[in-house]
Every structure is written in structure tokens, then in C-alpha cells.
């Protein structure tokens, strides 16, 4: 039997499906939307996120109502504040008649950084992701930061008469927290675990200082994830983490990778 709407048009999504296979997640992805996030230095920061909104779909429904996802997102104003994420999840559960709802907001986050010697100010951008799931009454929230770093190879330093090879690396840190934690704190946790942090603006004295800092603090990719894990273990706010590091090797035609997950 065709499902009819108030307009008299057929609502195909509400038709039954005889395959009896439930869908874990269905919805919309790659939605660009302006958001406001907390900023440790400036209270708040405006940015643009790539948003995904999904729900579970029971086996007896043919499809979901894609327009309702966008409606729920827009109902929270022209700019979404991250404090509204739980409310968005609850609205998705209600509007889509679902047990579970999932949202993710991935966005560039900017921090002003001063060069180590001259103090020259430049903006560094990092990728941040908020992922949240509502399962019945429970809410699960994961914060992810993707941080570029410099690593210098301890083996290269030990065996070379002059210098040592280094490379840019990328650390992805996912955390669950028992209370609020600043994005800046997570980024600093990662950067302090590497041979050196990166900067967007360096003058010659700064470049010398950063190069020498990395040389004096060599780390394998294994050291990098262990350093992050050690600092995360010491932070009482963090209840769970997964840290992944990938070095874009400068003298090999492959990358080096390591991962640690708590629990």
C-alpha cells in the first residue's frame, strides 16, 4: 500500500521493505555549515565544518527522510554552537523515529603562534573533529585533533657523522573526557611529544632554533605515540584515547606508522 502524505503525494520512504535487513547508519554527509567553537584565548571562534548526520533505519522501512536531517541542522540557527550537539542528536532521534543518531563536525581550527626567538606571530591551522552518538538515552562524545609535527630519526643521528634526517609527521589523537578539555590543550599535548612543533612563520633565528631543537630531541614514530600516551595517561580529564602517528619519511619511499589505544 502506498504511504500518502498530507499533500496527496506518495511517501516512498515509508513503504515497507521485504528484505528484512536493518541499516546501521543512513543520512547525509559533506554538509558545509558555519559553527562556533570554544577558543581558549578568545572565548569563541567562528569556522566552517563538514557535517555528517545519520541515524539507524529499521528493517521494515524502505528509506529515511533525507530532508529532515537538513531541517534539524537549520533549526539551530544559521550558525551552530557546539554546545547544541546533544540537542541536535535528540532532535534527530525524535524526527527520524530512531534509536541511535550520529553527528560529526570536522573543521579547521586556528591558533596564533609566536615564533620561538623573534616572536613573529603567525596563524597555524589544525583539523579538529567532534563525533557524537546518541544511543537511546546515552551520549558518547569523542574529540579528535590532527596535529602536524616534526620528528628527527634517532637512528640516523646515532650513525651519521653529520646531521640526521627528519620529516614532517601527523598525529591523530582521539579522546573521551570526563570533563571539558580545551582543543588547545590536546594540541599542546601532541606537540610537546614530538621532536619539534611546527610554525607558520619563522625568521632565520627561529629556523635555527627549531632545527636545533629537533636535533636535540630525536624520536621514532614509536617514541611519538608513547610520549603522547604517557601524557594522556597523566591527564585526569582523559578517560580513553587512541593516538596514531604517521611520519612522511624523507629518505624512504614509504611512511612509518604507529598506534596506541587505551583499553
Quick one: 123 and 104 in the same domain?
no
What pLDDT, on a 0 to 100 scale, did the predictor assign at position 1? 40
What pLDDT, on the 0 to 100 scale, is given for residue 5? 57
206 part of a folded domain: yes
Same domain, yes or no: 54 and 163: no
Do 123 and 103 share a structural domain? Answer: no
Write out pLDDT tens, residues 183-234: 999 999 999 999 999 999 999 999 999 999 999 999 999 999 999 999 999 9
Same domain, 90 and 151: no
DSSP 79: S
Q: Does residue 63 register a pLDDT over 90?
A: no
Q: What value does the mean pLDDT take over residues 56-84? A: 87
Mark whether 252 and 217 lie in a shared domain: yes
Indicate if 120 and 224 belong to the same structural domain: yes
Angle between helices 66-74 and 85-95 (to 10 degrees): 150
- Of 159, 147, 143, 85, nearest to 111 by C-alpha is 147
Same domain for 243 and 154, yes or no, is: yes
pLDDT (0 to 100) of residue 130: 96
Quick check: is 54 in a domain?
yes
Q: What local confidence, expressed as pLDDT, does residue 7 receive?
A: 61
Q: Of 74-78, 96-100, 172-176, which one has max mean pLDDT?
A: 172-176
Please compute, for residue 215, the number of CA atoms within 13 A of its CA located in the half-sphere on the CB side. 10
Q: Could you tell me if 102 and 123 lie in one domain?
A: no
Q: Which of 143, 202, 145, 195 is nearest to 169 (CA)?
A: 195
* 85 and 45 within one domain: yes
* Domain assignment present for 137: no
Q: Is the confidence at residue 57, as pLDDT, over 70? A: yes
Between 252 and 260, residue with greater pLDDT: 260
Sign of CA dihedral 73, 77, 81, 85: negative
Task: Note whether 44 and 170 are same-domain residues.
Answer: no
Question: Does residue 135 form part of some domain?
Answer: no
| Residue 186 within any structural domain of the chain | yes
* Residue 262 structural domain: 115-128+143-263
The answer to whether 39 and 45 are in contact (CB under 8 A) is: yes
Residue 250 lies in a domain: yes
SS3 of 128, please?
A: strand
Rounded to an integer, the average pLDDT of 145-166 is 94
**DSSP class of 59:** T
d(CA 169, CA 187): 14
Average pLDDT (254-261) is 96
Domain count of the chain? 2
Is 9 in the same domain as 119?
Answer: no
Q: Indicate whether 180 and 58 sit together in one domain.
A: no
CATH of the domain at 68: 3.10.270.10
Of the candidate ranges 80-84, 146-150, 235-239, the one whose mean pLDDT is the lowest: 80-84
Q: From residue 125, how far is each of 39, 109, 154 by CA, in Å?
A: 13, 5, 28
Contact between 16 and 60 (Cβ < 8 Å): yes
Amino acid at each position: 500500500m502506498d504511504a500518502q502524505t498530507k499533500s496527496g503525494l506518495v511517501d516512498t520512504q515509508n513503504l515497507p521493505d521485504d528484505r528484512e535487513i536493518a541499516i546501521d547508519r543512513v543520512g547525509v554527509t559533506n554538509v558545509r555549515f558555519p559553527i562556533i567553537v570554544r577558543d581558549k584565548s578568545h572565548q569563541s571562534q567562528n569556522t566552517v565544518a563538514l557535517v555528517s548526520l545519520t541515524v539507524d533505519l529499521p528493517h521494515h522501512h524502505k528509506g529515511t527522510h533525507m530532508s529532515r536531517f537538513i531541517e534539524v541542522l537549520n533549526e539551530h540557527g544559521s550558525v551552530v554552537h557546539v554546545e547544541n550537539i546533544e540537542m541536535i542528536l535528540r532532535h534527530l532521534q525524535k524526527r527520524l523515529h530512531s534509536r541511535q543518531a550520529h553527528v560529526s563536525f570536522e573543521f579547521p581550527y586556528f591558533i596564533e603562534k609566536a615564533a620561538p626567538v623573534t616572536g613573529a606571530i603567525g596563524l597555524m591551522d589544525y583539523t579538529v573533529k567532534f563525533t557524537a552518538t546518541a544511543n537511546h538515552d546515552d551520549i558518547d562524545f569523542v574529540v579528535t585533533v590532527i596535529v602536524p609535527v616534526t620528528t628527527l630519526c634517532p637512528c640516523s643521528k646515532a650513525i651519521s657523522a653529520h646531521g640526521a634526517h627528519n620529516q614532517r609527521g601527523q598525529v591523530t589523537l582521539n579522546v573521551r573526557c570526563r570533563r571539558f578539555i580545551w582543543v588547545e590543550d590536546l594540541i599542546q599535548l601532541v606537540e610537546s611529544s614530538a621532536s619539534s612543533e611546527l610554525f607558520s612563520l619563522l625568521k632565520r633565528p627561529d629556523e635555527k632554533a627549531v632545527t636545533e631543537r629537533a636535533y636535540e630531541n630525536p624520536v621514532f614514530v614509536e617514541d611519538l605515540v608513547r610520549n603522547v600516551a604517557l601524557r594522556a595517561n597523566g591527564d585526569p580529564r582523559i578517560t580513553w584515547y587512541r593516538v596514531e602517528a604517521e611520519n612522511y619519511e624523507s629518505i624512504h619511499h614509504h611512511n612509518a606508522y604507529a598506534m596506541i589505544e587505551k583499553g
